[in-house]
């Protein structure tokens, strides 16, 4: 194989706010460069999980190599690295960006800059990428490209006057984008003669090949037989195959060298050995330094996952094991709940990640799940000097042993039209937000900056934000760190028995309100029994709220004549069937739904 001329390679990604057309543009680039005919194209090739298509977001980074014959007569290799589009996956995004030399910024011609536009573009600039803007959806009647151009220049400060005006949906202006990639994104640097230094930006598990490592070769070369070493995890292996990315397929090649993006396999059994951000080097001729920026991925949000049918516990374990093969950021360990039986405490990058895993378990593995309230990781400083990282409220040490507690705080940026500033500020205030400042992006839009406790935004903050801004606000956040906070454990007692699966950690100030709303909600969800059931919320053994499910006084089929026994029986069977879907806590049968209903306590009531 002839050596590839580095100057004819472009490694880039596309950054955008959700729904501004990132994936559609990616599809058009692939189509235009002839990798697939439009007939073969299934819309949005890169989002290949059903879930991604449905939600219109990219969950896992995807990469594709195409060849483009430019107007200068030369053929260029374009490596498009499509990055996940959600704050939960910010670290993955940052590693994917590190694998690129430039980025296309897609901005909606009607909506202009949004919170994620800013967050993503700053992330790209932080990685020293050359960014050029593209204005999409110019076919919309409400498109105002000139105004958007000015906004990009004013707010982000990058040149936008010659930004291609395109409609990815209709395939308009794609050629301009391709030419701009050649002109504005720099060719990779690095020398094939140096020791191997490659950045892992993703990996997938294949049952035949083992882990397939996606990497960008910064320096050196790698081919079949190279003995490689992962510098952070220390794992080493012999390369079995190297290659590059076709559309939805892996195409083997002889060698990957500096500047190229591709994959390698080395009979690696576990994605944990190929951590995103780690540096691959030649074990026999290692590079001096690993690439900067490696971080161990930490779970930010935890919750309990239980099979609705206790007998499905082994199935749930198998399913989690399989998902983890492809998702090193998914954490799980067995736990037992008095109310819910055997299950797992699972850790996620964020709430979206949690929802995705939950949906995949339900869809792909056909499991019916009961989820406990998601919580964040609290730091409990004990009086004896120990620090406990608390992921399950049930494990909170006795209050007498606790010196103080800390909770994670985020810095949030909320983009909102001016008319809703008041209601959004109110929302942030309610969620214990600390106001940092506000900038007017233009006359009618502002960027609000707040510090917010993570546990206040993981439930329904996004929903509340949308409903209080009629859908106009957009939101992004970064983890800032831990801060001391007055936290208490709120317990729910049903018929005087504590239901461990319903306990959660909450700020002292919100405890009363949350407890009251939990009790109200549970009262509606728990069916009447043969006896009265008190539902109580308690903090430190002191009851702070109470509701009562009244006893059922009458449940009798008075009339039973005519020998139509089948119908009577069906009635009783229905009643019994309903019970099967309940969880028994003491004498009380609690519907599975009740455990889930308390996750969303409507705020705007």
Could you say whether residue 557 binds another protein (CB under 8 A)?
yes
What size, in residues, is the chain? 605
SS3 per-residue string spanning 222-258: EECCCEEEECCCCCEEECCEEEEECCCCEEEECEEEC
| Contact of 222 with 240, CB cutoff 8 Å | no
Nearest to 472 by CA among 445, 432, 506: 445
Q: How far is the CB of 575 from another protein (least distance, A)?
A: 4
Piece in contact with another protein (CB under 8 A), picked from 113-121, 192-200, 404-412, 570-578: 570-578
| Contact of 489 with 548, CB cutoff 8 Å | no
Q: How far is the CB of 522 from another protein (least distance, A)?
A: 21
Both tokens of 244, joined, read 């590059």
Nearest to 394 by CA among 302, 473, 258: 302
- Residue closer to another protein, measured from CB, 43 or 555: 555
Could you say whether residue 559 binds another protein (CB under 8 A)?
yes
Cα–Cα distance for residue pair 84/62, rounded to 1 Å: 8
Q: Which of residues 494-533 bind another protein (CB under 8 A)?
A: 530
Nearest to 153 by CA among 186, 185, 121: 121
Beta 369-371 vs 301-307: how paired, if at all? antiparallel
Could you say whether residue 569 binds another protein (CB under 8 A)?
yes
- Residue closer to another protein, measured from CB, 183 or 552: 552
Q: How far is the CB of 394 from another protein (least distance, A)?
A: 29
Q: Determine which residue in the list 234, 249, 443, 576 makes contact with another protein, applying CB under 8 A.
A: 576
Could you say whether residue 560 binds another protein (CB under 8 A)?
yes
Cα–Cα distance for residue pair 61/47, rounded to 1 Å: 9
- Residue closer to another protein, measured from CB, 470 or 581: 581
Q: Determine which residue in the list 141, 249, 563, 604 makes contact with another protein, applying CB under 8 A.
A: 563
Both tokens of 453, joined, read 């406790």
Q: How far is the CB of 589 from another protein (least distance, A)?
A: 11
DSSP assignment, residue 539? Answer: E
Q: How far is the CB of 586 from another protein (least distance, A)?
A: 13
| Contact of 95 with 276, CB cutoff 8 Å | yes
Could you say whether residue 548 binds another protein (CB under 8 A)?
no
Residues ≥6 apart with Cβ < 8 Å to 441: 113, 151, 155, 415, 447
- Residue closer to another protein, measured from CB, 67 or 552: 552
Q: How far is the CB of 337 from another protein (least distance, A)?
A: 24
Q: Determine which residue in the list 288, 443, 565, 580 makes contact with another protein, applying CB under 8 A.
A: 565
Q: Determine which residue in the list 72, 398, 443, 555 makes contact with another protein, applying CB under 8 A.
A: 555
Number of residues this chain uses to bind another protein (CB under 8 A): 24
Q: How far is the CB of 583 from another protein (least distance, A)?
A: 17
Both tokens of 348, joined, read 């996620």
- Residue closer to another protein, measured from CB, 296 or 528: 528
Q: Where are the beta strands (DSSP E) in 113-180?
A: 130-136
Q: How far is the CB of 310 from another protein (least distance, A)?
A: 18
Residues lying near another protein in the complex (CB under 8 A) are found at: 530, 552-566, 568-569, 571-573, 575-576, 579
């Amino acid at each position: 194989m002839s050596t590839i001329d580095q100057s004819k390679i472009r490694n880039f990604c596309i950054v955008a706010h959700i729904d501004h057309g990132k994936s559609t543009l990616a599809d058009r680039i692939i189509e235009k460069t002839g990798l697939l005919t439009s007939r073969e194209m299934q819309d949005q090739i890169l989002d290949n999980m059903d879930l991604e298509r449905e939600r219109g977001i990219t969950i896992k980074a995807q990469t594709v190599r195409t060849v483009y014959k430019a107007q200068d007569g030369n053929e260029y290799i374009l490596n498009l690295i499509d990055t996940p589009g959600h704050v939960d996956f910010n670290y993955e995004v940052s590693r994917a960006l590190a694998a690129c030399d430039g980025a296309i910024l897609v901005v909606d011609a009607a909506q202009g800059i949004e919170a994620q536009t800013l967050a993503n573009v700053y992330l790209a600039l932080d990685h020293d990428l050359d960014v050029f803007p593209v204005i999409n959806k110019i076919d919309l009647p409400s498109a105002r490209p000139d105004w958007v151009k000015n906004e990009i220049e004013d707010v982000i400060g990058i040149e936008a006057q010659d930004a291609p005006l395109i409609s990815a949906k209709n395939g308009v202006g794609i050629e301009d984008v391709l030419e701009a990639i050649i002109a504005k994104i720099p060719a990779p640097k690095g020398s094939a003669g140096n020791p191997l230094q490659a950045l892992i930006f993703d990996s997938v598990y294949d049952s035949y090949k083992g882990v397939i490592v996606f990497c960008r070769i910064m320096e050196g070369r790698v081919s079949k037989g190279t003995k490689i070493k992962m510098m952070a995890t220390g794992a080493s292996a012999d390369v079995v195959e190297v290659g590059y990315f076709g559309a939805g397929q892996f195409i083997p090649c002889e060698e990957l060298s500096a500047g190229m993006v591709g994959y390698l396999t080395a009979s690696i059994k576990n994605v944990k050995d190929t951590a995103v951000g780690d540096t691959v080097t030649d074990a026999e001729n290692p590079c001096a330094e690993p690439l900067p920026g490696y971080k161990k991925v930490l779970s930010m949000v935890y919750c309990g996952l239980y099979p609705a049918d206790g007998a499905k516990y082994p199935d749930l374990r198998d399913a989690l094991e399989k998902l983890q093969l492809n998702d090193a950021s998914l954490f799980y360990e067995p736990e037992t709940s008095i109310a819910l039986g055997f299950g797992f405490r699972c850790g996620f990058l964020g709430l979206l990640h949690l929802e995705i895993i939950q949906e995949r378990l339900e869809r792909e593995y056909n499991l019916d799940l009961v989820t406990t309230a998601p919580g964040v990781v609290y730091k409990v400083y004990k009086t004896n000097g120990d620090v406990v990282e608390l992921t399950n409220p049930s494990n909170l040490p006795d209050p007498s042993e606790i010196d103080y507690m800390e909770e994670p705080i985020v810095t949030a940026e909320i983009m909102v039209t001016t008319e809703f500033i008041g209601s959004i500020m109110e929302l942030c205030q309610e969620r214990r937000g600390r106001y940092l400042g506000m900038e007017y992006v233009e006359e009618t839009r502002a960027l609000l900056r707040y510090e917010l406790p993570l546990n206040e935004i993981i439930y329904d903050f996004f929903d509340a934000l949308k409903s209080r801004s009629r859908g106009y606000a957009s939101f992004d956040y970064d983890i800032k760190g831990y801060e001391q906070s007055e936290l208490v454990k709120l317990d729910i007692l049903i018929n005087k028995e504590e239901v461990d699966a319903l306990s959660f950690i909450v700020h002292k100030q919100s405890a009363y309100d949350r407890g009251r709303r939990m009790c109200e909600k549970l009262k509606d969800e728990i069916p009447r029994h043969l006896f009265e059931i008190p539902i109580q919320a308690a903090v430190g053994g002191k009851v702070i709220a109470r509701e009562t499910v009244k006893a059922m006084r009458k449940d009798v089929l008075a009339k039973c004549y005519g020998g139509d026994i089948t119908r009577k029986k069906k009635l009783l069977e229905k009643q019994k069937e309903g019970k099967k879907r309940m969880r028994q806590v003491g004498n009380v049968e609690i519907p599975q739904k009740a455990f889930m209903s308390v996750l969303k306590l409507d705020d705007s009531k």
